[in-house]
């Protein structure tokens, strides 16, 4: 989520900054907890795997707009999401990502500002939310993860927590029928990426794929995609 293939640069109107105060995060989280009860039938499996303290990178699969949103208030600890800059450019979403304190990721090259911001959160013992695929999967299954996850994890020695999300594509269709969609979060065991010295690009690729297979393990087989 920190980098994107060259030649596919984002077009953005300004260099968006991180609102680290996140002064309305508590209010958004209260709204999300209400939504869990009123608009969805949420089931959380593996909550015992969430470390009670310390730096954590929460990695999720991403097939629907709601995926990074619904998980934010589900793990019992404050989470700072990393969001592509297009979310800040969209006037419909901007109030949420800005006041929630999401870290903007300007894709198209290595975003050192985003890396510094995420590192600051982790250095203070906080949690970061990353979709390592870097974009929504159009197939419903996992697509290849980007090396930004491994780069940040090896830089900070943070625990990586795989969280598989199932059911979000049905939230809106079922709401239109006045029904609650079943949404399941499955949390896998946390792990730390081990390296000797500064990792090479090949090492980061291997570590990323290893992490993606751990994410695939907490998803149904039909959603494992290229990591089946």
To the question of domain 25-227 being in CATH 3.20.20.70, the answer is: no
Phi, psi of 113, rounded to the nearest 5 degrees: -65, -45
Q: What is the pLDDT of residues 158-177, one digit of tens each?
A: 999 999 999 999 999 999 99
Q: Where are the domains of the chain?
A: 25-227
Task: Summarize pLDDT for 98-154 with one digit per residue, the tens.
Answer: 999 999 998 766 789 999 999 999 999 999 999 999 889 999 999 999 999 999 999
**Biggest CA pair distance of the chain:** 55
Predicted local confidence at residue 197, as pLDDT: 86
Q: What confidence tens digit (pLDDT) does each residue in 29-72 have?
A: 999 999 999 999 999 999 999 999 999 999 999 999 999 999 99
| Ramachandran sector of residue 192 (left: φ over 0; alpha: ψ -120 to 50; beta: rest) | beta
């Amino acid at each position: 989520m920190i980098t994107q293939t060259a030649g596919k640069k984002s077009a953005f109107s300004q260099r968006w900054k991180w609102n680290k105060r996140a002064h309305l995060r508590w209010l958004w989280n209260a709204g999300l907890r209400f939504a869990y009860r009123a608009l969805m039938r949420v089931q959380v499996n593996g909550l015992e795997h969430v470390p009670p303290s310390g730096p954590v990178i929460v990695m999720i699969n991403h097939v629907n707009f709601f995926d990074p949103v619904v998980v934010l208030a589900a793990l019992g600890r404050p989470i700072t999401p990393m969001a592509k800059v297009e979310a800040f450019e969209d006037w419909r979403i901007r109030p949420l990502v800005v006041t929630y304190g999401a870290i903007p990721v300007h894709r198209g090259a290595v975003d050192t500002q985003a890396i510094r911001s995420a590192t600051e959160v982790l250095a203070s013992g906080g949690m970061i939310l990353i979709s390592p695929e870097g974009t929504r999967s159009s197939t419903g299954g996992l697509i290849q993860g980007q090396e930004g996850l491994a780069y940040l994890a090896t830089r900070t020695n943070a625990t990586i927590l795989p969280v598989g999300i199932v059911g979000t594509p049905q939230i809106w269709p079922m709401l239109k029928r006045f029904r609650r969609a079943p949404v399941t979060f499955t949390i896998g065991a946390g792990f730390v990426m081990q390296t000797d010295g500064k990792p090479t690009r090949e090492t980061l690729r291997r570590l990323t794929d290893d992490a993606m297979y751990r994410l695939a393990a907490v998803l149904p087989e039909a959603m494992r995609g290229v990591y089946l």
